[in-house]
Structure formats: structure tokens, C-alpha cells
Amino acid sequence: MNKRKVVITGLGMATALGLDVEENWQKALSGISGISKLTYPHAENSKVQAVGEIKSTNWARLQQEFPEDAVREGERRTLFALWAAQQALKDGGLVRKNTEHRSQNIDKKNAENNLGSGLWAPGSESFRSGVILAAGLGINRLEDVQKWIGKDGNFAYERFGREHKGIHRESIVKNNSHRPSALIAKRFGLNGYNATVTTACASASQAIGLAFRLIRRGDADMMLAGGADSMINPVGLIFFVLLGAAASSADSPEETCRPFDRKRGGLVMGEGAGIVVLEEEAHALKRGAKIYAEVAGYGTTIDAYQVTAPHPKGEGAEHAMRAALLDADTAPGEIDYINAHGTSTKLNDSAETLAIKNVFKEHAYSLCVNSSKSIIGHLIAASGGPELIFTALSVLRNEIHPTLNLKNPDPKCDLDYVPNVKRAKIVRSAISNSFGFGGQNASIIIKKFKS
Amino acid sequence: MNDKIVITGFGLVSSLGLNTQETWEALLSGKHGIRPIGDAHVRGFPCEAAALVHGLDPEGLGIHPRDARIMDKHSLMLMKASKDAFKHAHLDSSSITPDEVGFFAGMGMVDYSIEDLLPAVMKSMYPQGNPDYGAFYSGGYQDIYPLWPLSMLNNISFCQAAINLGIKGENTVFSPHADSGAQAVIEGMNTIAEHKAMAVLAGGVSEKVSPLSLARATWFGILNGEDTLCRPFGAGRTGTVLGEGSGMIILEHQSSAKKRHAPYYAAITGYGCAFDKNDAARCPTASAESRSMEQALAKAGIEPFDIDVIIAHGDGTHMGDKNEIEAIHYTFNTCLDKIHVYSSKGSLGHLLAGAPAVDVILTIHMLQHGIIPMIPGTYPVDPGLRFNLVNSKPVKASVKRVLINATSYEGQCVSLIIEKAD
């Protein structure tokens, strides 16, 4: 039996570079960094000072775009997710014009007849469409603990129990990881499979990989997949400092993230979202959708080595890429470009390089490898979303954005990382890698679309 | 095409026992594990009861103290159920290579323990008692254990179980409600169907009941604040009760089980997923639940009257149960008198992501023994209900096919169909 083909028909994102996919892409190609000095309040003493924050003007725009959700929802990432989902659907020609700025109530009659609010283009079936999103950590604030410390210096548990509703709305207590994917499903009438993946930095790639498999095996015709995340909050800011994985600040923020550079010193956090519309090929062709690229394969593995460090030889990463190639029925020689996990930590970048060399042998040296994190930072659970979008655009347009700040070659990282200047190159097929803390690895293969 | 996907092993941890047998026997004798919480740190909430797991310790599970420090109770429950499932299926390095084993789990939210942050917060306060972020960022945070961040990621306990069991294949973690545990089973099943793994460990684990998890559930408005029991489909039901526990199963192709002479206990033959929710509700709509069940029936190639037992989501919330009753009435309209409906939440509490795989394991026992345990707290039953709710005593019945429902408070419904495998 021939497998159903899965194509990408819509892109939506929000990063430090902006709220528009084309703007993100052009800036990334030009090597404009989204990393800047932290503006989060009261954080002047934070060890982490370089971050890829969503600019305050853009945040204000998101709040205007989703006024009800801005008031009701506690987490920043929820608005990022709504925005990226809406952009992806619009880009895919799947949102009716009159419903763009209004929520659920618009199509009440349709909702009653068809369960979903029926925002999809006519002819599509809401139960054959779903959402799989990545989610990161909930937000913990000092106030949430401090507020219930008694005069005796102990935490007043009973008082907390009575007064817990007074906890900040951003707190993990008033939120849950399934919220963004459910809000999106409700708003846009996607009434099929709905799930939330929580596998740390591998989450968004796994979400996209699972959505791809779901369509390929026939359980859905259309899926929104990707992720949204932000760890720019008090406990988030010290999270990677405690683990020894945060970059120590460089003189200028935009030079702090330097994947594959000998002087790389750790990861730089970003925030935002990246969500794509995946669609079965015939379904997309039938409605005349524009097709960016084909999702051809997905593979995922576990290091089963240590939860504190990746496998030093990148064994899990190697196996994930091999599994994806096998899944895509693609020979290593057909891959021209890898959007690496490339976190700018000592351990990841050398292990990932080794894994690439083990999979591709000599061909590894003719590949282009880059790290989007050098430009937009590490979007943690969401990182695979924007990175897959960049990968798809490279496959479509034969252009590869640079890896920024790569100035000091590392003998352990000796591939072509497209240092500092974009590259024009025919990209037949590409891989996007995401590896999570704990040891979960995911690789996705994107191919040029041929009907 | 006819190579069914079967269950060759399982492990279960609940408030009624640290293994399947104890739990099953307690359920048959009509017991429940719901008690006053009795923890000095969990006080002041309207709901003071939960079904807690007792007696799990890292040492007994062979966990190194170094690893135990970042493992909270949910990690121990997952580890115990996973190890038991592996052992039960006789899977070890001699019978299978690590790359051929997949791993899928539904897991809850991971909450910080207040003690983990308290010293750092104490050091980062002005004398008036408000937070001093300057002090926090410049050193106060160092009073937090350096590996504490890992314990906040719910995939870490998952990876620890993978390390312990040597699992390296296809995997993911879903979260946080009951639908996620059922989706883990679905993805495990498809991983086998697509020959991406020879065996898959799948299931889920509940959250640890803590001040924060209780605060979240109370804030959500799902907890029973008026009563100390969970009464699924009861006339005067007033909410759910949290439970702790985990269920993990091993999935394989029937041919693979036969080849290695492993016994198999049941087949998974169908699943369905549907989403919809009314604005303020904490459950899917009745039509989404119907849709999910009908998809599962279609996938399994059977009709409503082929189902003998429904293990409902039945969490004892007013609206959740109401919608599920309506959905069952609609989908099973022609055979309501034949169907028995059960919910494990009256005995085990709400295990959230842990619930579906626990229900799959209970299904295996119903198929084997031809008996359905009773729901202890439900009396009288909702007057609108038109099916046989097993609420007064265990019922002996010929059980060949069971449908399981699992729903999210955010509106997703998932259904599974489990059958006797010959």
C-alpha cells in the first residue's frame, strides 16, 4: 500500500525577530540577531542577560489581537501559540476572513450543526483536523511562595490551602500544559486529535513528527503542529544557570550564543512559537493550497545514558537521524542541509557533530549545517517549531541562513556550519534536529515537494 | 492485516496496592482507597480526601540515592509500574535490543515542592517581607539544589525509567490529563503497527497529590468539596477526588508474542479521538464523546452491541458525567440494556494521565475472570441514566469487548477498545 504523503501548507511564528514569517526569514538570512539585553523587570542582577525576547511592541500587538485571552489566560506562551496558529491557518488559506478577529461566537449556527465552530474552508471536516503542541514548564514566581511565609519563617500550609486562589495567574497552579492546544482547537474548530507533548527541548519536533505520522497513517487530513514556550520568568532565568548550561554573558548580547564555536559557553534562551499546517497531499492539492515542502520522515530515540548529559558520542542523536532517514526511505546522500539542534553548549555541539559524521560519513563534509538558535535563541520546548519553518523555507528557496558568531573554529566541530553569511545551495532534502534534556531525540526530514 | 496488537505484560500501582493482584482483589471486595489526606502540609482545602499510594521507596526499587534526590513520587510510581510490566512480559536484554523497544507515557503537571524553593525565597526577601529579586538573582537562587530544575521536567522521570530498563526506541510524553494516557497507548499501538518497534511500553502516571496539585484541581473547580467520596454517575455527585497511581502495559504484535512463546492477555483493536468543549465547562461535550466512541467502534470494525462493558471516564463531576451519560445513551441507544458501565474512579480516585492504562489492566482482568467490580460510592444513581451501572455488587458477565473513555478537562476525549485475544 502506498503511504499517504504529508505536505506543509501553512507557517506561523513569533520570535524575537518578529511576528511575521517572512520578516523572520529575511532577518535570519541577513544574519540579524534577535538576541538582546534582558528587559524582564527586577532582573538587573540576573546571570542571564542575553535573551531572545519577544519585543514589547509585538507583545502589545498580541494582546490587542487576542483581547479576551490576554485578560483571561495567565501565560505569555498562550498568546504566542494562538498567534502562530492563526498565522499558519491564514497562510494556509484556512481561516475565513470574517472570523479573523472574533472568537467562538461568530458561527454559532454552524457550530451547532457541525460541533466545531466551522472556521475551516468549506469541504474540510473538523474531526479530521487536530492540534499537537509542545509545552514547556509552568511558571513559578517567588511571590507564590513568599506570600504564605508566616512570621515564624515557616510556610503556612493551612493558610495557603484556604487562600490558594490568591496565587498569581501566571502560576503553574492556575494553568495547565494542555490549555494552548485546546484553546486553538476551540477557536478554529479543529475537532479531531488534540494532544500536548512535554519532552523538554524535543517537544515541538516530536509534536510535528507525531502529527505527520497521524496524517500519513490516515487518522487525520490536516493538523496544526509545533509549539510555544517562554522561560523568561524568575525561576526560568536561573533554571539553566543552576544546571550549568546557560551562556555566560559576552560583551554584547547578540554575540553570546555561538554554536559550534570553540568559545561557546552555553545556551541563550529565546521565547515565542512556531506552528505549521500539515496536510495530506491530495487534500491540499484538491483545495489548491500552496505547498512549501513535503514532510518525508520522522524518527525519535532515547539516549538511555544519563539525565544530566547527552550521550558523549551522540548515539541517540545518530539513531534518531538514521530512524528518520529510514522512515523517509531516503538515502543519506540525498540530504543537503541539517538544521542542527546546535544549542551552543560544549557537550551538545560536539556530540551532534559526531553523530552527523557517523550517519553521513564523508558526505557530512558536503552538507550545510546551521543553528537557528544563534539568531533567535533557544525556544526550549518550542524550539523545533521555528526551526522546522526555517528548514522548510530553505528546502523551498535554496537558501540557508547563517550560524552567527562562529569565529573560532573548534577542532571537534569541523563541518560546514554556514558561518556568519547566508548560503545559496540547492536543497533537495533536509533534516531538522531537536534533542531534549533527559535524552530524548527527534529528527524530521523535509523534502522538496514534487506532486 | 490480521496480526493483532496484543498486551503481553502489565504493571499497576494504586492506593489499593502496589501491584495488580492486590488492587484487583480489593476492587472485587468493594474497597476504595480514598482517605483523609492526613499530611500536615496539605491542609485548608475544601477537599480533604485523596486516594494516595503508600509504601514506595527508592531503595526498594533499586534506585541510587543520587538519582532519588530528583525523583518525586510520580517518578517512583512510573518506575515501579514500568519495571513490573517489563518483568511480567519477560522482556530483557536477551530477548530484545534497546532500539526495538518504544516508550510512550501520559504524565501530569510537575509541581515544585515548597521546601525546594523556601530557603532561596527566604534569602531573597526584604525585611518587610516582599521579594528582593536583586538578592535572588545574585545568590539567593543558589540555595536551590542544582539539579532541582531537572526534577521539574516531567520527561526526566520518563528518561530515568528508560535508563533503568534500557529503552532506546521511539518515544514521547503527553500531558497532563486522562486523554494523554490514552494517547500514549494509541501512539504505542501505531508504533507497533508500523513496525517501528518490536515492543512498546505504554501507559501513564498520576500527579503526586501535593498542596500545589490540590490547589490546581480546586482552582479548576473539579474537586469534591462537600463529600469525602467520589461518586461517578451518582444522583448527588459533587466532584472528583484525586488519586495516585500508574498503569503501564507492554504492546506487541500477536505474531511476535507467539514467536517468543509469551502469553498475551488482550488485544487493542480500536481507538477514537474527538475534541469539543463549551466555554466554561471542564469536560468535552456529549457529541465529542459520542464521536470518539463511534470512531473507536468503526476502527475496530464492530457495532455498539458488540461492546459488553464500558469503563467510563466517570470522574464524579456533575457536568462531566452528565455529558458522558448523554453520549453513551446516544451511541449505544439500541443496546443500553445489554451494556454494563463501570468507573474505577470511585475506588482509586482520579489518576488523570494514569487512569486509562489502569483501566486497560482492569479490562484484562474482566476479560479473564468474567466479573466487573462495583463502584463503591455511587448510591443512588443519577435518575436520568438508562444503562446498567455496576454500583451495588460485582457483576458476573461474559466479557469479550470493553470500551474505555478518557477525557481532558480541556475538552479532548479519547476512546480505546480492548478485546479478548484468542
Give mean pLDDT, residues B300-321.
98
pLDDT of residue A251: 75
User: With a threshold of 0.95, does the pTM exceed it?
Assistant: yes
Confidence of residue A154 (pLDDT cuts 50, 70, 90): very high
pLDDT of residue A95: 80
Q: What percentage of chain B carries pLDDT values higher than 90?
A: 92
Give mean pLDDT, residues B343-362.
98
Contacts of B103 in chain A (CB under 8 A): 302
B168 touches chain A (CB under 8 A): yes
Contacts of A382 (CB under 8 A, 6+ apart): A77, A80, A134, A136, A203, A204, A226, A227, A228, A229, A272, A273, A274
Nearest CB to B170; choose among A104, A115, A300: A300
User: Residue A380 forms beta bridges with which residues?
Assistant: none
Q: How do the domains of chain B map onto residue ranges?
A: 5-111+152-419, 114-150
CA of B329 vs chain A CAs: smallest distance (Å): 18
Best mutation target among A307, A318, A327 (most B Cβ atoms within 10 Å) is A307
* pLDDT tens digits, one per residue of A136-152: 998 888 889 999 999 88
B100 touches chain A (CB under 8 A): no
Give mean pLDDT, residues A107-134.
59
Confidence of residue B2 (pLDDT cuts 50, 70, 90): confident
pLDDT of residue B129: 86
Residue B294's nearest CA partner among B339, B259, B247, B332 is B332
Active-site annotation holds for A401? no
Distance, in Å, from the CA atom of A78 to the CA atom of A97, rounded to the nearest integer, reads 23
* pLDDT tens digits, one per residue of B180-193: 999 999 999 999 99
Does A80 reside within a domain?
A: yes
Query: In B, residues 112-151, which contact A (CB 8 Å cutoff)?
Result: 112, 114-115, 117-118, 121-122, 124-125, 129-131, 133-138, 141, 144, 146-150
* Strand bridging mode B412-419 / B401-407: antiparallel
Phi-psi category of B223—alpha, beta or left, where left has phi over 0 and alpha has psi -120 to 50? beta
What does residue A274 show for φ and ψ, rounded to 5 degrees?
-145, 120
Confidence of residue B422 (pLDDT cuts 50, 70, 90): confident
Give, for B355, the enclosing helix (H) or strand (E): helix B355-369
Distance, in Å, from the CA atom of A318 to the CA atom of A301, rounded to the nearest integer, reads 9
pLDDT of residue A104: 41
Domain of A287, in residue numbers: 7-139+175-451
- Cβ–Cβ pairs < 8 A, chains A and B: 276
B343 touches chain A (CB under 8 A): no
Active-site annotation holds for A201? yes
Does A125 reside within a domain?
A: yes
Chain Cα centroid distance, residue B322: 21
Contact (CB, 8 A) for B59 and B75: no
Helix B355-369 and helix B20-28, axial crossing angle in degrees, nearest 10: 70
Give mean pLDDT, residues A244-248.
92
Q: What is the CATH number of the domain that holds A394?
A: 3.40.47.10
B8 touches chain A (CB under 8 A): no
What does residue B246 show for φ and ψ, rounded to 5 degrees?
-150, 145
Contacts of B410 in chain A (CB under 8 A): 176, 178-179, 181-182
Say yes or no to pLDDT of A228 above 50: yes
CB atoms within 10 A of CB A242: 19
The CATH architecture to which B5-111+152-419 belongs is 3-Layer(aba) Sandwich (3.40)
pLDDT of residue B274: 96
Contact (CB<8Å) B216/A174: yes
Residue B121's nearest CA partner among A244, B211, A164, B113 is B113
Does A433 reside within a domain?
A: yes
Nearest CB to A191; choose among B43, B115, B274: B274
Helix A76-91 and helix A56-65, axial crossing angle in degrees, nearest 10: 70
Distance, in Å, from the CA atom of A239 to the CA atom of A103, rounded to the nearest integer, reads 36
Does A152 reside within a domain?
A: no
Confidence of residue A119 (pLDDT cuts 50, 70, 90): very low
Contacts of A200 in chain B (CB under 8 A): 153, 155-156
pLDDT of residue B1: 54
Contact (CB<8Å) A116/B148: no
* pLDDT tens digits, one per residue of A6-23: 999 999 999 999 999 999
Confidence of residue A109 (pLDDT cuts 50, 70, 90): very low
Say yes or no to pLDDT of A269 above 90: yes
pLDDT of residue A330: 98
Chain Cα centroid distance, residue B215: 20
pLDDT of residue A98: 45
CB atoms within 10 A of CB B62: 9
* pLDDT tens digits, one per residue of B84-136: 999 999 998 778 999 999 999 999 999 999 999 999 999 999 998 899 999 99
Confidence of residue A250 (pLDDT cuts 50, 70, 90): low
Does A157 reside within a domain?
A: no
> Does the CA dihedral B293-B298-B303-B308 come out positive or negative?
negative
Indicate the range of A31-40, A133-142, B286-295 predicted with least confidence: A133-142
Give mean pLDDT, residues A404-426.
98
- Which candidate in A283, A311, A319, A378 is catalytic? A378
Q: Which three cell numbers stand for residue B18?
A: 502496589
pLDDT of residue A117: 39
Does A159 reside within a domain?
A: no
* pLDDT tens digits, one per residue of A308-358: 899 999 999 999 999 999 999 999 999 999 999 999 999 999 999 999 999
pLDDT of residue A120: 46
Number of domains in chain A: 1
Say yes or no to pLDDT of A52 above 90: yes
Provide the 8-state DSSP code for B209: P
Contact (CB<8Å) A437/B131: no
Distance, in Å, from the CA atom of A388 to the CA atom of A445, rounded to the nearest integer, reads 9
Does A167 reside within a domain?
A: no
Nearest CB to A438; choose among B134, B153, B274: B153
CB atoms within 10 A of CB B60: 11
Give mean pLDDT, residues B404-412.
97
Query: In A, residues 122-161, which contact B (CB 8 Å cutoff)?
Result: 127, 130-131, 135, 137-138, 140, 142-143, 145-146, 149, 153, 155, 157-161
Contact (CB<8Å) B291/A115: yes
CA of A426 vs chain B CAs: smallest distance (Å): 31
Nearest CB to B109; choose among A177, A239, A437: A177
Distance, in Å, from the CA atom of B343 to the CA atom of A150, rounded to the nearest integer, reads 42
A205 touches chain B (CB under 8 A): no
Helix A384-397 and helix A21-29, axial crossing angle in degrees, nearest 10: 70
Active-site annotation holds for A341? yes
Does A156 reside within a domain?
A: no
Residue in B with minimal Cα distance to A237? B137
Contacts of B146 in chain A (CB under 8 A): 242-244
Contact (CB, 8 A) for B102 and B248: no
Give mean pLDDT, residues B31-37.
97
Say yes or no to pLDDT of A112 above 80: no
